[in-house]
Chains A and B, each alone.
Chain A
Amino acid sequence: MSRSSMWEAVGGIVRRDLLLAMRRRSDAAMSVFFLVIVVSLFPLGVGPEPAVLRTIGPGVLWVAALLACLLSLARVFTADYVDGTLEQMVLVPQPLAVLVVGKVFAHWVISGLPIVLLSPLLGLQFGLSGESLGVLVMSLLLGTPTLSMIGTIGAALVLGVRGSGLLVALLVLPLYVPVLIFGAGAVTGSMAGIGAEANLSLLGACLVLSLFLAPWATAAALRIALE
């Protein structure tokens, strides 16, 4: 297996998934709208005091990002599973785990990157100031790929299973706990003046670890689902 053909395969998958997403822009827009709505509900629920909002802001934004990422997970494999593309992907000579990385990257570009880009705006709604906004963007930039990585394991496990939408949430949300803690912790830390480096480094470590392990687990789960 030459290295160039592996990159070609990954690039092909990323291009294809992005193209499909571009053809159905409303699908991708939905999870972003969901994020905005969920985040906007919190001030209505807990009251408009700026001090309270500033305290809960990082946590609310991160939990909303988690849920938005979760909602889009069903789209990663389902269409390919239904029309048989996934079986072809298992049969190609390139390792399945490498192709999975392409799928995950495309999923992140479609559903994670918009969250990252939109987060400063949402942070302003919660009264976050200059430096914390930067840390928020940075933490989401490091954290959302991990969410996509872990999420695709769950998406592959529940492929074609009844009640899969709810089941994937129950499987994946406990696994998201460390990312949530480090991500929201980075923003709170920078607001409290402790600094965000430690939490951001841990987020980076989570990303590297998930990049290393998650594709194998996803590939194994896909093979089991397609047996």
Chain B
Amino acid sequence: MSVNWSKYSAPMAFYPLAGRLIPWFACVAVVLMGVGLYMGFFVAPTDFQQGEAYRIIFVHVPAAWMSMFLYVVMAVWAGIGLGLNARLSFMMAQAIAPTGAMFTFLALLTGAMWGKPTWGAWWVWDARLTSELILLFQYAGVMLLRTSIDDLRRADRSSAVFALVGVVNVPIIYFSVQWWNTLHQGASVSMSTGSKMAATMLTAMLLMTLAFWLYSVAVILSRVRCIVIERESLPVWEGEPTVVQKVAEVR
């Protein structure tokens, strides 16, 4: 069976497709999150150095991974939008930014909650913490730039350029902060040394990562649907999205 995939680059055609996909992604995300959290909290062994406090990593590490991954995905969609001049790509980039920022914030928050019992401080100017904070600033920049520009086309393209500039800058920031950190601090607590991870811990963490990933897809697709409604002025206020599907079929 061959599918004409390029058909779905039109927002009107993508809208019903996204609607059909969302429940699947959402259900699998919930199941995986349940299994992952159960494994993380009840199956995985207690860490002999950090006790029970380490269990926050089952949320923290996947959130941090997703925050960086989503920034790259956002920049890729922005680049595709600039290159191919495709509206749906810009909509995807717009929809990804809030979820990415949410994961960045979640990573910072859980990091602070882990840092207090383990390091004895809510915040340490650790390399990873600092670069994650700057990543949050960059997400904020992308979203603020978009909302400050009234002209939709310019808002799309300007924030796309900024997202691409940011993606070049993120690795430079990461390394600069790391070198700065090693210059300033001597022996301090490092996250990389310490434990070889037990197999169940790794499994739980990977399950949670997968769950966050699917959750992101579900949330981003529903946000894209909202953006499509908003931009294409679809008449959904009269009823359910079935109206939209009919409109899409007619076209």
Chain A contacts to B: CB under 8 angstroms: 153, 157-158, 161-164, 167, 170-171, 173-175, 177-178, 181-182, 185, 188-189, 194, 202, 206, 209, 213, 217, 220-221, 224-225, 227
Contact = CB atoms under 8 A, between A and B. Distances in A.
Contact of B134 (A163, A164, A174): A174
B134 A170 contact: no
Given A177-B177, A178-B172, A178-B176, A185 B144 contact: no
A174 B52 CA distance: 35
State the 4 A-B residue pairs at the shortest beta-carbon distance, nearest first. A178-B176, A174-B137, A224-B157, A181-B180
A158 B172 CA distance: 24
Nearest to A175: B169
A220 B180 CA distance: 32
B148 A158 contact: yes
A157 B176 contact: no
A217 B164 contact: yes
Chain B interface size, under 10 / 10 to 19 / 20 to 34 / 35 or more: 20 to 34
Contact of A167 (B82, B144, B168, B169): B144
Residue from the set A181, A189, A194 with the largest chain B CB neighbour count within 10 Å: A181
Interface string B29-54: 00000000000000000000000000
A213 B1 CA distance: 44
Interface in B129-162: 134, 137-138, 140-141, 144-145, 148-150, 153-154, 157-158, 161-162
Nearest to A177: B173
Looking at chain B's contact residues, the main secondary structure is helix
A221 B157 CA distance: 8
Contacts of A206: 172
A181 B168 contact: no
Nearest to B131: A177
7 contacts: A153-B161, A161-B145, A167-B145, A170-B141, A177-B177, A217-B161, A227-B154
Given A178-B176, A181-B176, A224 B168 contact: no
Contacts of B179: 181, 185, 202
Contact of B173 (A178, A188, A189): A178
Nearest to A224: B157
Given A174-B173, A188-B183, A224-B157, 6 more contacts: A153-B162, A158-B148, A164-B148, A170-B140, A181-B177, A213-B168
Contacts of B153: 227
B166 interface: yes
Most central of A162, A170, A189, A224 by chain B CB within 10 Å: A224
B17 interface: no
A53 to B, nearest CB: 18
Nearest to B177: A181
- Secondary structure at the A interface, as helix, strand, loop or mixed, is helix
Nearest to B171: A178
Contact of A161 (B137, B148, B157, B169): B148
A174 B138 contact: yes
Contact of B169 (A178, A202, A221, A224): A178
A161 B183 contact: no
Interface in B171-223: 172-173, 176-177, 179-180, 183
Nearest to B172: A178
Nearest to B175: A178
Contact of B176 (A153, A163, A182, A188): A182
B165 interface: yes
A178 B173 CA distance: 5
Given A174-B137, A175-B169, A220-B161, A189 B183 contact: yes
Nearest to A163: B148
A153 B164 CA distance: 12
Contacts of B165: 153, 175, 217
B158 A224 contact: yes
B148 A162 contact: yes
A208 to B, nearest CB: 12
Contacts of B149: 161
A161 B151 CA distance: 10
